Structure 1
Amino acid sequence: MEADGPSGNLTPLQGFGFEVREVRKGRKLTQKHLARGAGYSEAYVSRVEKGQLVPSERFARGCDVVFGTHGMFQRLRRRMEESDHPSWFVPYVQLEQKATRILDYSTGLVMGLFQTEDYARAIFRAAHPRATDDVVEGKVAARLRRRAVLDREEPPAIWLITHESALRTRVGGPAVMAGQLEYLLHAAELPHVDMQVMPFSAGAPDGQMRPFTLLGMEDSPTALYVDGPQGGRVYEAAKMVGQAADTYDRLRAHASSPDDSAAFVKSLLKEHRP
């Protein structure tokens, strides 16, 4: 999509590409010059400028070096990432990126950090039925970027408790669900990930079906994230975090063991495979 200027109806991704193109032209450089200086192909530069490709952090840094823009494109990329998340979710994402310990209890859907691309796309398309494909794809890309924490040299220790209802809710059809369940099984095999399923037979150990996530910088949780009808919120009050940690311990005690949980997910997987 073309626009006459930054005030045009651009998505954040297209806006980044617009700025790259305008600065490049202002410096009288070709796409080949930028590609060589940033260490990427001309095709990559072209797709970024057209808003068709999410730029890497290295590419943004390369633009700043080539253009002499002193971090402008790195800052623009960070703002672009944040813009694909609702404003109320940005504080959580910032904490998630730094956390060394993540404890999650999901009841209606699989935790976002462990959603596959197709599963996330189906969720966002259902939640935003009138949104353009660019908007939906931007949200999907933002969700997938959260996985970077799993690839850190020292990834966070993660404990997932997923309610059976989330695993049985069919999102995007059998093929999408099969891929999602397979991904969960793969994640559960990672040395820093533990997974349990809360079966229907366990009732409601916490008194209600309320999802939440605890994040910590060491062994103890220091922040609590809770979803709400108008968006989620992060709490850091020690009393609230402590109460949520106690609740999480009760949930772990009532959930199926990791081995039994993996076996259950495998049984569900058979139901979705053609």
Structure 2
Amino acid sequence: MEETTPSERLNPLQRFGLDVRRVRLGRRLTQKQLGTATGYSHAYVSMVEAGKVMASMKFAKGCDLAFGTNGLFEGMLTRIDEGDHPSWFVPYLNLEREASKILSYATNLVTGMVQTEEYARAVFRAANPHATPEGVEDKVAARLRRREALERDKPPFLWVILHEACLRTIVGDYEVMAGQLEYLLSLTESPDFRLQVMPFSASIPATSTMPFIVLRFPDSPTVLYTETRVGGRMHDSAQTVEAALDDYDLLRAHALSPDHSLNLIKSLLKEYRA
């Protein structure tokens, strides 16, 4: 029976960090020098090399510039990211990063792009009961990387409509739910984010719509993304996209106003904290 080497037992984040460290030492750079070159702190470089955080794409590109590795680390990070998403989701993920406006409607779980680490971990543990702890953590890290788009200098305008079921379904425990609601409230402080809640009391036509996401681009056609248990699908026909936009307008009309939505979330937060 063949024995595995220490590097083969590392998870993807740890292997990425180890490769960064090897090349950095080969180029005779300190962690501080690499941090300066990539625009990050010494502590951040240390955590990446230790595999404790998922490196940002900006950091990976900075490493390629500092090391002269011609896109090596950018490619490695992309493969890690895509490897922790289902293959059918990768095309959507690539488009999401380029979108200038994102319209999302979720019916049972908080939309992935704005999930907290603890919430995402609870989701993946429930959905992957046989996965190793390392495998779950890799998926969590990949999901959190989707939030990088919201931290750009020019982030996409994100409009999220959550059915009330998303806020009342206990994912993890009350502490996890409280943290998730607090994060949603913090996002509403951004001028590039809108949040509405579809209450249980809304009429059936507005609440029977399946979850979907619309991606809009400055110079490309609008795209609709829908998902079922067997995978996701991209739609770009003008008629289908137009129908989805009409549905979204209907959802916005039936949902609570942004202010009333915040009041409901704050009320639920008090319940979870209690």
Superposed pair shares fold, TM > 0.5: yes
Q: What count of residue pairs does the alignment treat as equivalent?
A: 268
| Residue 66 of structure 1, CA deviation | 5.2
Unaligned runs of 5+ in 1: none
Of 132-141 and 168-177, more deviation after overlay is shown by: 132-141
Paired residues of 2:216 and 2:223 also in contact (CA < 8 A) = yes
Aligned residue number for residue 5 of structure 2: 4
Q: What amino acid does structure 2 have at the position aligned with 1:156?
A: P
1:225 aligned counterpart, secondary structure: strand
2: distance between equivalents of 1:219 and 1:23?
Answer: 39
Closer, same or farther: CA 221–160 of 1 in aligned 2, 3 Å: farther
C-alpha distance in 2, partners of 1:62/1:194?
32
Tell whether the 8 Å contact from 1:116 to 1:183 is kept in structure 2 after alignment.
yes
Please give the per-residue CA displacement for 1:127-167, whole angstroms capped at 9, x wherever unaligned: 11222222212211111111112122222222111101111
Q: How does 1:162-173 map to 2 (within 5 A)?
A: 162-173=162-173
Cα distance change of structure 1 residues 18 and 88 upon mapping to structure 2, 3 Å threshold: same
Q: CA deviation at 1:23?
A: 5.2
Output aligned runs, 1:55-74, within 5 Å: 55-65=55-65, 67-74=67-74
2:119 aligned with 1:119: yes
Deviation at 1:91, TM superposition (A): 1.4
- Cα gap change, 1:152/1:65 in structure 2, threshold over 3 Å: closer, same or farther? closer
Query: Which residue of the partner structure matches residue 273 of structure 2?
Result: 273
- Aligned runs of 1:1-274 on 2, under 5 Å? 3-4=4-5, 8=8, 10-20=10-20, 27=26, 33=29, 35=31, 37-39=33-35, 48-65=48-65, 67-206=67-206, 208-218=208-218, 222-274=222-274
One-letter identity of the residue aligned with 1:4 = T
Q: 1-side partners of 2:49 and 2:188: how far apart?
A: 38
Give the distance between the partners of 1:91 and 1:210, measured in 2 at CA: 20
1:173 positional shift: 0.9
Aligned partners of 1:48 and 1:55 also within 8 Å: yes
* CA positional deviation for 1:52: 3.6
Moved more, 49-58 or 105-114: 49-58
RMSD (Å), alpha carbons: 2.8
Q: In structure 1, what residue type is equivalent to 2:198?
A: M
Summarize the Cα distance change of 1:3–1:212 in structure 2 as closer, same or farther, 3 Å threshold.
Answer: same
- Please give the secondary structure, in 1, of the residue aligned with 2:171: coil
- Measured against aligned partners, the alpha-carbon deviations of 1:216-252 in whole angstroms (never above 9, x if no partner) come to 0149970111111112222112111111111111111
Given that 2:35 and 2:45 are in contact with CA atoms closer than 8 Å, whether structure 1 keeps it comes out as no
Matches of 2:178 and 2:91, distance apart in 1: 32
Are the equivalent residues in 2 in contact too, given 1:113–1:144 (CA < 8 A)?
yes
Q: Which runs of 5+ in 2 are unaligned?
A: none
CA deviation profile, 1:15-69 (whole Å, cap 9, x unmatched): 32454456567x4x66xx3535523788766654553432344543454345442
- Farther-moved stretch of structure 1 (126-135 vs 241-250): 126-135
Provide the secondary structure at the position in 2 that maps to 1:155: coil
Contact 1:24–1:67 (Cα < 8 Å) also in 2:
yes
For 1:102 and 1:58, locate their aligned partners in 2 and report how far apart those are by CA, in whole Å: 22
One-letter amino acid of the structure 2 residue matched with residue 266 of structure 1: K
Q: How far apart in 1 are the matches of 2:87 and 2:137?
A: 18
- Alpha-carbon separation, structure 1, partners of 2:64 and 2:153: 26
What SS does the aligned partner of 2:234 have? strand
Go from structure 1 to structure 2 and tell me whether the alpha carbon gap of 1:270 and 1:59 turns closer, same or farther (over 3 Å shift).
closer
Contact kept, 8 Å, 1:34 with 1:66, in 2: the verdict is: no
Deviation at residue 188 of structure 1 after TM alignment: 2.2
| Conserved? CA contact 2:104–2:213, under 8 Å | yes
